[in-house]
Amino acid sequence: MARDTQGTQGTQSQESSIWTLVESQPMEKIVWGRLYGKNIKIKSLGTSSKYRIIYTPSSFSVDLNNDEFSAGRGEANDLILTLNDLSEKILTRISKVHFTIKRANCDLASPVYIKDHSRNGTFVNNEKIGMNKMRILKNDDVISLSHPTHKAFVFKDLSPNESIGLPEEITKTYYINRKLGSGAYGLVRLVYDTRTCQQFAMKIVKKNMLSGGSRPSTNLSDPERVLNEAKIMKNLSHPCVVRMHDIVDKPDAVYMVLEFMRGGDLLNRIISKKLLTEETSKLYFYQMCHAVKYLHDRGITHRDLKPDNVLLETNDEDTLLKVSDFGLSKFVQKDSVMRTLCGTPLYVAPEVLITGGREAYTRKVDIWSLGVVLFTCLSGTLPFSDEYGSSAAEQIKKGKFAYRHPAWKGVSQRAKLLINQMLIVDPAKRPSIDDVLQCSWLRDAAMLQKAKQLMKIESMDIEEENNFLEPPTKRSRR
């Protein structure tokens, strides 16, 4: 039996024992930020304050080590502003609580928020926050009270500075937070728009890191190609296509500020669940198809469709999904051909491998990749792999695959039929995205209803597809 700290046994729960222990040994408080006085001299402290003031002949600083810090005229503030500190003219414009600064759980990994509680305003770097509004406070931000010229404090963020080396265009607008992940191209970071506090994912594509390769599939260095991604993405607007909010192009890297997708990517989802149910696979696949249709209707071929490039909005099973990464895409006119060899092996269409990029290939490459993605969702395995005897490339060129995994026993024939069609080697015989959207497997009222809600659309093609749901009118027998 666990022994409690007071030496009694049995009567007290283990939980309360731990509590006593924690209480008797308070944790050292983390100082997560500091306010330096600027121009105005502030001497007084709130009676209940735990803040340490460091005086120097010309300035002082306050350590921030609680979740929330408040400043204003009122006695309850951590920092009380009085006539000793400010001229009467300024003090009359100071509110009881003028502003508060917060860092959730004093966690250095969280952003710092400043909230304006005053009618006359709290200003950050000369910009008014606005009554009852918040913004993110960054290192070296200057706080003014009631007027931009009444500069009172400079804020020092004591968390590691993640914005070193980033261009000013980015750091002046965004607060740079934790790493979300990384890929072949570079890093993805969580960032916040300091004014709106909105979260985004910033993708940093290093141009030099992508240089080199003589093989076209690895030659991603081409700045034009990076910019191509940007140009295409900025002009796209569809619920299932990742929105690009901002882009900064620099000689060494491109910084893309994208919609933040907190659910992570489809690859991780499949890996964590081993495989997806047919119901979920269908819901995800349907949304991917809508994204691809949107792109194809605009003459855009994605060319790099794979689960890593499909992002999920939430961690819920039924979630909105968005297709990302158009770095390998290219605008093509209808009926024109694409000659660039790109795309990732395993998801790449046979015509790309067969011709080695020397011949033309079309948007049907996306249909093939979608077929592979669907196969992967439903079974958690790849249809083509070097582990199956011959090389994956050989299997792809022959369109040779099998439903080996036991999970396939529980998958409908309609789903398999669709995969068979999407993985036809001859692109001319492979269905178009419209054909795929019309397939019998996707005529599923419950799924369509869910998708419609997630995609928040009333009148898209879904309506047309719903027509399938009408029971066929029975012909009266004569």
List the one residue from 112, 258, 295, 305 that touches ligand 3AM (CB under 6 A). Answer: 258
Residue 30 as a binder of ligand 3AM (CB under 6 A): the answer is no
Choose between 42 and 242: whose C-beta lies nearer to ligand 3AM: 242
Count of chain residues binding ligand 3AM (CB under 6 A): 16
Residue 32 as a binder of ligand 3AM (CB under 6 A): the answer is no
- Contact window for ligand 3AM (CB under 6 A) among 48-56, 143-151, 262-270, 465-473: 262-270
From 304, 325, 366, 444, active-site residue:
304
- Contact window for ligand 3AM (CB under 6 A) among 108-116, 119-127, 257-265, 391-399: 257-265
**Interacting residues with ligand 3AM between 188 and 217 (CB under 6 A):** 188, 201
Cα–Cα distance measured from residue 121 to residue 144, given in angstroms and rounded to the nearest whole number? 9
**Interacting residues with ligand 3AM between 272 and 311 (CB under 6 A):** 311
Residue 265: strand pairing partners: 311
Residue 266 as a binder of ligand 3AM (CB under 6 A): the answer is no
List the one residue from 193, 259, 279, 313 that touches ligand 3AM (CB under 6 A). Answer: 259
Say which residue the tokens 């993110």 belong to: 136
Residue 264 as a binder of ligand 3AM (CB under 6 A): the answer is yes
Cα–Cα distance measured from residue 133 to residue 149, given in angstroms and rounded to the nearest whole number? 20
Cα–Cα distance measured from residue 204 to residue 221, given in angstroms and rounded to the nearest whole number? 13
- Contact window for ligand 3AM (CB under 6 A) among 11-19, 176-184, 207-215, 365-373: 176-184
**Interacting residues with ligand 3AM between 236 and 255 (CB under 6 A):** 242
Minimum CB–partner distance for residue 375 and ligand 3AM (Å): 20
Choose between 74 and 380: whose C-beta lies nearer to ligand 3AM: 380
Minimum CB–partner distance for residue 311 and ligand 3AM (Å): 5
Residue 313 as a binder of ligand 3AM (CB under 6 A): the answer is no
**Interacting residues with ligand 3AM between 142 and 171 (CB under 6 A):** none
Q: Nearest residue to ligand 3AM, using CB?
A: 181
Choose between 244 and 442: whose C-beta lies nearer to ligand 3AM: 244
Residue 268 as a binder of ligand 3AM (CB under 6 A): the answer is yes
Choose between 201 and 292: whose C-beta lies nearer to ligand 3AM: 201
- Pair 32, 158: CB distance under 8 Å: yes
Q: What is the 3-state secondary structure (H, E, C) of the chain?
A: CCCCCCCCCCCCCHHHHHHHHHHHCCCCCCCCEEEEECCCCCCCCCCCCCCCEEECCCCEEEEECCCEEEEECCCCCCEECCCCCCCHHHHCCCCCCCEEEEEHHHCCCCCEEEEECCCCCEEECCEECCCCCEEEECCCCEEEECCCCCEEEEEEECCCCCCCCCCHHHHCCEEEEEEEEECCCEEEEEEEECCCCCEEEEEEEECHHHCCCCCHHHCCCCHHHHHHHHHHHHCCCCCCECCEEEEEECCCEEEEEEECCCCCEHHHHHHHHCCCCHHHHHHHHHHHHHHHHHHHHCCEECCCCCHHHEEECCCCCCCCEEECCCCCCEECCCCCCECCCCCCCCCCCHHHHHHCCCCCECCHHHHHHHHHHHHHHHHCCCCCCHHHCCCHHHHHHHCCCCCCCHHHHHCCHHHHHHHHHHCCCCCCCCCCHHHHHCCHHHCCHHHHHHHHHHHCCCCCHHHHHHHHHCCCCCCCCC
409 is in an annotated binding site: no
Residue 183 as a binder of ligand 3AM (CB under 6 A): the answer is yes
Minimum CB–partner distance for residue 363 and ligand 3AM (Å): 24
List the one residue from 4, 63, 229, 265 that touches ligand 3AM (CB under 6 A). Answer: 265
Residue 74 as a binder of ligand 3AM (CB under 6 A): the answer is no
- Contact window for ligand 3AM (CB under 6 A) among 107-115, 263-271, 434-442, 468-476: 263-271
Active site residue 426: no
List the one residue from 155, 260, 375, 441 that touches ligand 3AM (CB under 6 A). Answer: 260
Would you list which residues are annotated within the binding site for ATP?
A: 207
The set of catalytic residues is: 304
Residues within the interface to ligand 3AM (CB under 6 A): 180-183, 188, 201, 242, 258-261, 264-265, 268, 311, 324
